[in-house]
């Protein structure tokens, strides 16, 4: 069978276009002024396919808007004959506004918007041809799941064994690849009892019955329309004489196929993107789309924008040297497009610290130093690989009184999974806490319907009891049906048992037990949404946080105070966000913590993606480095506490890939993270009076030792080079033997 997406001329020819008058654009046109040679070439090269490799901070938005203005001013196309595709509504609005400033009202007639918005516009005209009416509804994620659950229930698919989120995730991945139910064959594995293709088909049929589609259908139906109706495809191919695509490296397979089909007639397609910033494979993006552009369009011109107008030479050199270790890239090297005054271009700093709390102190101290020097907090950002990393920084910022905001998500203790877990802890600490009871009594699902919960509330009001006591009472009588009565009895018994265990096992281990035995952790581990693994990590960080407090009550009081952090938007605030969320943003001062193996690169990415996963992690590191304008501090810790247990951490391999000529490395005694230069001790660390112990030296339980940070102590247990030591003042900790000296 021939490839329906092959670039050939077999499709019916469109009617001959009317002759147009092409005008010469003067060299001093407003949109051409100030362009560097590469930008000018990208704007004025209009004929044929063009790939613009636009590095970070090289002015891609200006190139896109100027190119649109140049096409219109030259008379090569009417506004409605230009298709410009973006990934966000914000980017589309900004592009339209900037084009309007250059060409006036003509910008309103451009076909400019996101993939989804443009596909909706096409489908409204041709809905009947894909089995819908023109007034079809676009379902949000909640309605999609509700509809899918109806299908699963009708087919006898157990939602406890096969969560609807997991089933929906597989369906959406098929749609991202442009696969209709008939094309998925036997894919889907054991999910839904091996019936995934059938469930997909039934779900699509149900969508048509209710005259609706989900977001994945918008592209999928357009592809189906174009493949089934060559006449309609030819109409749009003829209409769109020029196609512009922003962030091409983020396209999925369906988007890629849609663009290729539309570009077959005129082949005047200009894709702007950066293969070095492709970081969204987890939501369907295919870096291969941009890597094979020249193969798809053999006559393509490739224009590299390498002049960066954002960052200092040291930052650019570090980023370029790091990303050069990736094999799957087209290749470019960023170079400064700005002249920085002498003294402003400082080397990238890499700092090794003992543990997470010390890392938070070092970073926040640096923030305060910049603030005292007159730097606005809003111009600084802490960029983390995973959401769980934010907690220690948030607590340190609150302690020091530095205002902050978390972009792209709630603060740590405001996150859904943390609020749920905290409600369990609150209920164990105080069974009268009615709000906590309401939050967790049926979370995860225990078979308690609205009628049963309403009976609990009625009993509590009638007898003047707390909700928990009312639930206990109802679990011992016959007012409820057997199933909900048994569920309530089990829940209440668990709370009582956990409350009794509090003094026996301690609040940290008990919290881990509660999250596990309640089924809450298993619920998120079974969830296949992109957010679920991060929620599991956050629950682990919550348990770790508990270990820092003497009692559960002390911890709960602390969290209540933390949540009172000033939320006023009029304050100058430091930004905390994930590296994924930071793409497209820039800050004067950037802090990159947690550069350790397993954290960054993230272990899950390595386990699931292998070499491809590692290269995407490296691209994410590149994105982090290139967010900084003036200064960059990277930190890593030798020890992390995971589930209340200290574990040693290895410095990230990415630190080895930073060039010594542009990096200043400093660390406490015993640290090393690659590079040919010697690590120096930070000036604020006191001089130690002990020499570092040679590697391989043996220790025995009972030895009196001296640790460079925790002071004197007695060895309790030995596991290779890992020692458990009861320190005289710091308590019992696990440390590396290379940081310890016999007394």
The question of whether 246 is a catalytic residue gets the answer yes
How large a percentage of the chain has pLDDT more than 70?
Answer: 90
**Both tokens assigned to 735:** 């440390």
Task: Choose among 82, 76, 72: nearest CA to 21.
Answer: 76
The question of whether 277 is a catalytic residue gets the answer yes
Residue 11 in this model has a pLDDT that exceeds 50: no
The question of whether 247 is a catalytic residue gets the answer yes
61 is in an annotated binding site: yes
Task: Choose among 618, 551, 624, 614: nearest CA to 581.
Answer: 624
Q: How far apart are CA 216 and CA 169, in angstroms?
A: 11
3-state secondary structure of 131: coil
303, β-bridge pairs: 52
The question of whether 60 is a catalytic residue gets the answer yes
Strands (E), 87-138: 111-114, 137-138
Q: For residue range 678-718, list pLDDT tens digits in order.
A: 445 544 433 222 224 333 457 888 888 887 667 788 999 88
Strands (E), 121-274: 137-138, 212-213, 242-245, 269-273
Q: What is the pLDDT of residue 5?
A: 35
Q: How far apart are CA 237 and CA 15, in angstroms?
A: 11
Across the chain, what does the average pLDDT equal? 86
Q: For residue range 134-157, list pLDDT tens digits in order.
A: 888 888 888 899 999 999 999 999
Contact 622, 642 (CB under 8 A): no
Which of 96, 175, 426, 627 does the annotation list as catalytic? 627
Q: What is the pLDDT of residue 738?
A: 63
Describe the strand order of the beta sheet including 82-86 as a list of residue ranges. Answer: 111-114, 82-86, 242-245, 269-273, 50-54, 301-305
Q: What is the pLDDT of residue 671?
A: 57
Residue 538 in this model has a pLDDT that exceeds 60: yes
Q: How confident is the model at residue 478 (pLDDT cuts 50, 70, 90)?
A: confident
Residues sharing a CB contact under 8 Å with residue 229, sequence separation 6 or more, in sequence order = 126, 129
Of 559 and 606, the one with more pLDDT: 606
Task: Choose among 115, 58, 215, 2: nearest CA to 626.
Answer: 58
609 is in an annotated binding site: no
Which of 38, 176, 214, 246 does the annotation list as catalytic? 246
Question: What is the β-pairing status of strands 645-648 and 628-642?
Answer: antiparallel
Q: For residue range 458-470, list pLDDT tens digits in order.
A: 888 888 888 999 8
Q: For residue range 355-398, list pLDDT tens digits in order.
A: 899 999 999 999 999 999 999 999 999 999 988 898 899 989 98
Q: For residue range 325-348, list pLDDT tens digits in order.
A: 999 899 899 999 888 776 678 999
Q: What is the pLDDT of residue 687?
A: 28
- The pLDDT of 558-572, averaged and rounded, is 68
Q: What is the pLDDT of residue 622?
A: 97
Sign of CA dihedral 560, 561, 564, 565: negative
60 is in an annotated binding site: yes
506 is in an annotated binding site: no
Which of 60, 385, 485, 630 does the annotation list as catalytic? 60
Can you spell out the DSSP letters for 172-193? HHHHHTT--GGG-TTTTTTGGG
3-state secondary structure of 411: coil
Q: What is the pLDDT of residue 724?
A: 86
Q: How far apart are CA 14 and CA 358, in angstroms?
A: 67
- The pLDDT of 49-62, averaged and rounded, is 93
Which of 176, 214, 247, 358 does the annotation list as catalytic? 247
**Cα dihedral 550/551/553/556 (nearest 10):** 70
Q: What is the pLDDT of residue 568?
A: 60
Q: What is the pLDDT of residue 558?
A: 77
Q: What is the pLDDT of residue 547?
A: 80
Give the distance, in angstroms, between the CA of residue 132 and the centroid of all CA atoms in the same chain. Answer: 34
Q: What is the pLDDT of residue 680?
A: 52
Please count the other Cβ atoms lying within 10 Å of the Cβ belonging to residue 506.
Answer: 15
Residue 18 in this model has a pLDDT that exceeds 70: no
The question of whether 124 is a catalytic residue gets the answer no
- CA R_g for the chain: 30
Q: What is the pLDDT of residue 673?
A: 47
Lowest mean per-residue pLDDT among 67-71, 150-154, 484-488, 729-733: 729-733
578 is in an annotated binding site: no
Give the distance, in angstroms, between the CA of residue 299 and the centroid of all CA atoms in the same chain. Answer: 36
598 is in an annotated binding site: no
Of 678 and 456, the one with more pLDDT: 456
Residue 272 in this model has a pLDDT that exceeds 90: yes
Q: What is the pLDDT of residue 28?
A: 83
Strands (E), 189-264: 212-213, 242-245
Task: Choose among 312, 277, 325: nearest CA to 662.
Answer: 312
Q: What is the pLDDT of residue 427?
A: 92
Q: How far apart are CA 615 and CA 419, in angstroms?
A: 35
The question of whether 627 is a catalytic residue gets the answer yes
Contact 301, 45 (CB under 8 A): yes
Q: How confident is the model at residue 1 (pLDDT cuts 50, 70, 90)?
A: very low
Q: How far apart are CA 95 and CA 86, in angstroms?
A: 9
Q: For residue range 715-741, list pLDDT tens digits in order.
A: 998 877 678 898 887 788 777 676 678
Which of 277, 312, 626, 635 does the annotation list as catalytic? 277
Q: For residue range 639-668, list pLDDT tens digits in order.
A: 887 656 677 888 999 999 999 999 999 876
320 is in an annotated binding site: no
- The pLDDT of 583-609, averaged and rounded, is 93
Can you spell out the DSSP letters for 597-611? TBBTTBHHHHHHHHH
Q: For residue range 226-241, list pLDDT tens digits in order.
A: 999 999 999 999 999 9
Q: How far apart are CA 668 and CA 653, in angstroms?
A: 19
381, β-bridge pairs: 575, 590
Q: For residue range 105-116, list pLDDT tens digits in order.
A: 888 899 999 999
Phi-psi region of 650 (alpha: psi -120 to 50; beta: other; left: phi over 0): beta
Q: How far apart are the first and last CA of the chain?
A: 78
Q: What is the pLDDT of residue 626?
A: 96
Q: What is the pLDDT of residue 644?
A: 60
Q: How confident is the model at residue 263 (pLDDT cuts 50, 70, 90)?
A: very high
Q: How confident is the model at residue 2 (pLDDT cuts 50, 70, 90)?
A: very low
The helix (H) or strand (E) run that includes residue 92 is: helix 89-103
- All structural domains of the chain: 37-123+220-305 (3.40.50.300), 137-210 (1.10.10.160), 316-411+568-667 (3.40.50.300), 414-542 (1.10.486.10), 703-742 (no CATH)
Q: For residue range 24-39, list pLDDT tens digits in order.
A: 887 888 899 999 999 9
430 is in an annotated binding site: no
């Amino acid at each position: 069978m021939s490839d329906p997406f092959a670039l050939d001329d077999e499709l019916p020819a469109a009617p001959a276009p009317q002759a147009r008058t092409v005008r010469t654009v003067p060299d001093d046109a407003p949109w051409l002024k100030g362009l560097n040679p590469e930008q000018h070439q990208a704007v004025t090269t209009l004929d044929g396919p063009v790939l613009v490799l636009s590095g970070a901070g090289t002015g891609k938005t200006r190139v896109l808007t100027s190119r649109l203005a140049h096409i219109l001013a030259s008379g090569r196309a009417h506004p409605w004959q230009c298709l410009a595709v973006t990934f966000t509504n914000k980017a589309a609005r900004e592009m339209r506004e900037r084009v309007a400033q250059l060409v006036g009202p003509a910008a309103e007639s451009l076909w400019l918007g996101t993939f989804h918005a443009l596909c909706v516009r096409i489908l409204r005209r041709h809905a009947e041809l894909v089995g819908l009416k023109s007034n079809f509804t676009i379902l949000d994620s909640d309605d999609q799941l509700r509809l899918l659950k109806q299908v699963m229930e009708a087919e006898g698919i157990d939602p406890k064994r096969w969560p609807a989120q997991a089933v929906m995730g597989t369906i959406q991945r098929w749609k991202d690849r442009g696969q209709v139910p008939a094309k998925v064959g036997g894919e889907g594995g054991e999910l839904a009892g091996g019936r995934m293709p059938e469930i997909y088909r039934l779900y699509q049929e149900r969508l048509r019955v209710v005259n609706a589609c989900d977001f994945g259908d918008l592209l999928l139906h357009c592809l189906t329309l174009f493949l089934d109706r060559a006449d309609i495809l030819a109409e749009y191919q003829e209409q769109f004489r020029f196609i512009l695509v922003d962030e091409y490296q983020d396209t999925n397979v369906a988007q890629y196929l849609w663009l290729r089909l539309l570009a077959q007639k005129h082949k005047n397609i200009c894709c702007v993107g950066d293969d070095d910033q492709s970081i969204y494979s987890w939501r369907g993006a295919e870096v291969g789309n941009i890597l094979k552009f020249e193969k798809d369009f053999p006559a393509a011109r490739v224009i590299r924008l390498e002049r960066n107008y954002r960052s200092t030479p040291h930052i650019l050199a570090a980023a370029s040297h790091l990303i050069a270790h990736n094999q799957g890239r087209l290749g470019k090297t960023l170079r400064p497009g700005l002249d920085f005054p002498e003294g402003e271009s400082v080397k990238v700093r890499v700092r090794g610290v003992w543990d997470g709390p010390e890392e938070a102190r070092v970073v926040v101290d640096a923030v305060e130093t910049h603030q005292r020097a007159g730097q606005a907090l809003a111009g600084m950002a802490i960029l983390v690989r995973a959401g769980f990393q934010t907690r220690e920084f948030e607590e340190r910022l609150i302690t020091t009184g530095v205002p902050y905001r978390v972009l792209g998500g709630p603060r740590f203790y405001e996150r859904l999974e943390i609020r749920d877990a905290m409600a369990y802890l609150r209920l164990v600490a105080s069974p009268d806490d009615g709000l906590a009871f309401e939050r967790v009594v049926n979370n995860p699902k225990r078979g308690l319907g609205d009628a049963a919960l309403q009976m609990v509330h009625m009993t509590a009001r009638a007898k003047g009891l707390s909700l928990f006591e009312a639930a206990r009472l109802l679990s011992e009588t016959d007012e409820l049906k057997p199933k909900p009565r048994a569920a309530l009895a089990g829940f209440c018994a668990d709370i009582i048992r956990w409350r009794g265990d509090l003094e026996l096992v301690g609040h940290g281990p008990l919290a881990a037990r509660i999250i596990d035995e309640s089924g809450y952790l298993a619920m998120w581990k079974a969830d296949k949404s992109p957010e679920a693994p991060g929620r599991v990590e956050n629950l682990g960080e919550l348990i770790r946080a508990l270990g820092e407090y003497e009692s559960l009550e002390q911890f709960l009081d602390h969290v209540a105070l933390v949540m009172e952090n000033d939320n006023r938007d009029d304050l100058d605030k430091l930004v905390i966000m994930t590296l994924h969320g930071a793409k497209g943003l820039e800050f004067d001062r950037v802090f990159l913590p947690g550069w350790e193996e397993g954290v960054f690169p993230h272990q899950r990415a390595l386990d699931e993606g292998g070499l491809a996963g590692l290269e995407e992690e490296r691209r994410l590191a590149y994105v982090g480095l290139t967010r900084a304008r003036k200064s960059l501090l990277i930190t890593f810790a030798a020890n992390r506490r995971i589930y209340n247990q200290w574990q040693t951490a290895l410095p990230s391999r990415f630190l080895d890939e930073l060039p010594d000529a542009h990096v200043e490395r400093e660390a406490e005694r015993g640290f090393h993270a690659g590079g040919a230069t010697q690590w120096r001790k930070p000036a604020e660390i006191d001089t130690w009076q002990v020499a570092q112990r040679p590697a391989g030296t043996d220790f025995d339980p009972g030895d009196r030792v001296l640790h460079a940070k925790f002071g004197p102590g007695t060895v309790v247990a030995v596991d290779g080079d890992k020692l458990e030591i009861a320190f005289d003042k710091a308590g019992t900790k696990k440390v590396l033997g290379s940081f310890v000296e016999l007394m």
